[in-house]
Structure 1
Amino acid sequence: MRLLEKILLATDFSKSSHKTLKSAIALAKAFQSKIILIHVLPNNIKNEKVRILLNGAAIKKLDIIHQKIIKEGVKTAKPILEYGNHFENIIQTADSNNVNMILIGAGEKLKSDVFQLGTTAAKIIRLSNKPVWVIKNENNLNVRNILCPIDFSKESKRALKNAINMARRIKAELIVFSVYEVHNLEPPNDRLNWDQDNELVLSAHKNEFNLFLKNFDLTDLSWKKEIQIGDPAVEILKALKRYKSDLLIIGTTGKSGLTRILMGSVTEKVIREVPCSFITLKSEDFINLKLETRIRDIQKH
């Protein structure tokens, strides 16, 4: 069994989709994965001639991409052409083919846009249980630095496990990042007690951070940890820019409303403005962690 067996690559034939394809091919080569290609056409086209033309054009474009993947020596399946709602078809296809990951572009957005994430990508992240890798227009898979925020939850535990294996596999530096909040914005009259309280909160957070990290094997890995105080979403975005991170790996809780991560709606804020590619994980790993552990055990022996 491969570490990352099947990748569902959703393409919309846009200008940025060729960069998404390059990333998918690079990822498939790194993990010996199989790429399943999908494109979704609208099913509300009333003009029969237009529908036939669009269908024919989509089949040709899918075949061109399919041949590019084969030429790169990557395993691939027959391209899938669906009709109807984009995100619903992508999610259903991911489930029916039991893929390890959905890989999709961020959508055609301008750098000046406040919200950088496309609607389809946002809905897939919110509604799919599969890990989702969103490729930003300006990024490829040349990942040198990975940022993984954690909040000690089971979702962030899953994210960190996958981030460690990804960093080890592609020889990238890993930043394990945590944020704690001080709820008293204004100090009381007794400033000394206020500072002492903050010190106690920070000390407790550091202890919890260290206990959390004891559950992970970080040997033979270039990594560092960092704690910041403030708003989690703001501090995560600052850290991504400070470290010039190429990839964010973060866990989602899958609560109602727009996907919520870490504390409240942190993910909603982060993934809308994140400057790099990112992976969200909800209830499934994208790397076969048991197999990766066995490989490492064999290597150690």
Structure 2
Amino acid sequence: MISFARILAPSDFSSHSEDALRYACGLAERFQAELHVIHVLSEMVPAGPDPLLMPVMPAQYYEDDEKRATEALATVIKPEWGTPKSVTTAIRWGVAAEAIVDHAAEIKADLIVIATHGRTGLSHVLLGSVAERIVREAPCPVLTVRTAPSGAS
């Protein structure tokens, strides 16, 4: 019998990740599992074509970024999506896929539920896929939730 005690759901606060969080909440309720929601903040600051000219941001910038993310995580789960056994949130700094895989191992997640944007072709090559990398490297099964593209029926 399949059961999950800890489900990890990454969120970037997009509509895509909201759809995946809805799935994760429903599964957590059904299995009476803990739901862990993580948001990864990037230390990279877009600076233009020359990485050597990247500005050094003041500490306040990072503190404000983390505070905004913490506040957003506090309201990201909607009550109508289901009632998990418990909900725990986390903020991590770094590369999204690495931070999510590491966090899944730390909490001993039984399942990761993550959104995929369903990019194909050149956009996939240029932008890569966090979800694809997580599927390859995760210490547990991964459920990818794809939202239908705009205009699709």
TM-score (norm 1): 0.40
Conserved 8 A contact 1:25-1:69? no
- Are 2:70 and 1:31 equivalent residues in the alignment? no
Three-state SS of the structure 2 residue aligned to 1:18 is helix
Q: CA deviation at 1:47?
A: 1.8
- For residues 98-153 of structure 1, the C-alpha deviation after alignment (integer angstroms, 9 at most, x for no partner) is 110111100374xxx448975111111112231111000139xxxxxxxxxxxxxx
User: Identity over the aligned pairs, expressed in percent?
Assistant: 24
CA RMSD of aligned residues (A): 2.6
Instruction: Write the letter of the residue equivalent to 1:56.
Output: K
User: Partner of 1:88 in structure 2?
Assistant: 98
Instruction: Measure the CA separation in 2 of the matches of 1:72 and 1:137.
Output: 20
Q: CA deviation at 1:90?
A: 0.7
- Which of the residues 65, 81, 90 maps onto 2:76? 65
With over 3 angstroms needed to count, the CA separation of the structure-2 counterparts of 1:108 and 1:56, relative to structure 1, is: farther
- Residues 246-265 of structure 1: pairs in structure 2 closer than 5 A: none
- Consecutive unaligned residues in structure 2, runs of 5 or more: 46-55
- Are 2:51 and 1:51 equivalent residues in the alignment? no
With over 3 angstroms needed to count, the CA separation of the structure-2 counterparts of 1:40 and 1:21, relative to structure 1, is: same
Higher Cα Rg, which structure: 1
- Residues 60-209 of structure 1: pairs in structure 2 closer than 5 A: 60-66=71-77, 68=78, 72-107=82-117, 109=119, 113-114=120-121, 119-138=129-148
- For residues 220-252 of structure 1, the C-alpha deviation after alignment (integer angstroms, 9 at most, x for no partner) is xxxxxxxxxxxxxxxxxxxxxxxxxxxxxxxxx
Instruction: Measure the CA separation in 2 of the matches of 1:106 and 1:136.
Output: 5
Instruction: Measure the CA separation in 2 of the matches of 1:100 and 1:69.
Output: 23
Structure 1 runs, 4 residues or longer, greater than 2 Å off: 43-46, 48-53, 68-73, 75-78, 113-118
Bigger RCO of structures 1 and 2 (CA < 8 A, at least 6 apart) = 2
